[in-house]
Amino acid sequence: MPDKDQDNEHAERATPVRRRLAVPVIAAAVALVIGAAGGASAVKMMRPTPEMAPLTPVAISAMPATSLVTIKGKVAEIYGNKFVLQDESGKALVETGRAGEDGALVTRDEAVTVQGRFDDGFVHASYLVRQDGRTEALRPPKGPPHRRFADFDHRP
C-alpha cells in the first residue's frame, strides 16, 4: 500500500502545473474574444451606409441642395445616360450612370419616380420607380470596379 505522504506530495505538485497551464489558455481565450469584437466593430465602421431617399416626392423647384430626394414627373428629354424630368414646378437633370448608357432606360413622356442624391445641379439617381410600381436599382451595391495597376501605366 502506498504511503499517504507520497500521495499528498504528488497532489501538491500537480496543482501548480494545472494552474500554470490554465492561465495562458484563459488569456488566449480572452484575447480572441477581444480581437473578434474589435474586428467586428471595425468592419461595421468601414461598411458603407445604406442610401435611402425619403418616400414622399418633393417638387423639383423645392429640392434641398446636396441631399437625398425623391422626385416624380414625366421624362421630357433624353441625353444618353441622362434625362430631364419635369413636373409642374420645373425641370431636373437626372444622371443614371451605366444603367442608362444606351438611352433606352426611359422613354419620352414616361411618368417615373426617381430616388437619389441631388448634388452639383443634377440628381444622381439610385432607384427608378416606374408607374406600374417596378423598381430598378441604378447603382451597383458596391463602389465602382477597381482598375488594375497596369491600366494607369501610360508610359510610351
User: For 87-101, how does the pLDDT look when each residue is reduced to its tens digit (9 = 90+)?
Assistant: 999 999 999 988 888
Q: Is 74 helix (H, G, I), strand (E, B) or coil?
A: strand
Interval 19-70: pLDDT, tens = 666 777 787 778 777 877 777 766 666 555 555 656 788 899 888 877 889 9
97 phi-psi bin (left φ>0, alpha ψ -120 to 50, beta other): left
DSSP β-bridge partners for residue 65: none
151 in any annotated domain: no
**Is 54 inside a domain boundary?**
no
Residue 55 lies in a domain: no
Helix, strand, coil percent values for the chain (each to nearest 5):
35, 30, 35
Q: Where are the alpha helices (DSSP H) in the chain?
A: 4-46
- Taking every pair of Cα atoms in the chain, the longest distance, rounded to a whole number of angstroms, is 105
Tell me if 77 is assigned to some domain.
yes
What is the model's pLDDT at position 26? 80
pLDDT at 32: 79
Q: How confident is the model at residue 5 (pLDDT cuts 50, 70, 90)?
A: low
Give the pLDDT of residue 18: 62
Give per-residue burial for 65-90: e unless 16+ CB within 10 Å, then b.
Answer: eeebbbbbbebeebeebbbbbbbeee
pLDDT mean across residues, the chain: 77
Could you give the percent of the chain with pLDDT greater than 70?
Answer: 66
User: How big is the chain by its Cα radius of gyration, in Å?
Assistant: 31
Please tell me whether residues 100 and 129 are part of one structural domain. yes
| Residue 108: CATH number of its domain | 2.40.50.200
6 pLDDT more than 60:
no
pLDDT at 84 over 70: yes
**Domain span including residue 32:** 1-47
d(CA 71, CA 84) in angstroms, rounded, equals 12
Query: Rounded to whole angstroms, what are the CA distances from 19 to 6, 14, 26, 28?
Result: 21, 9, 10, 14
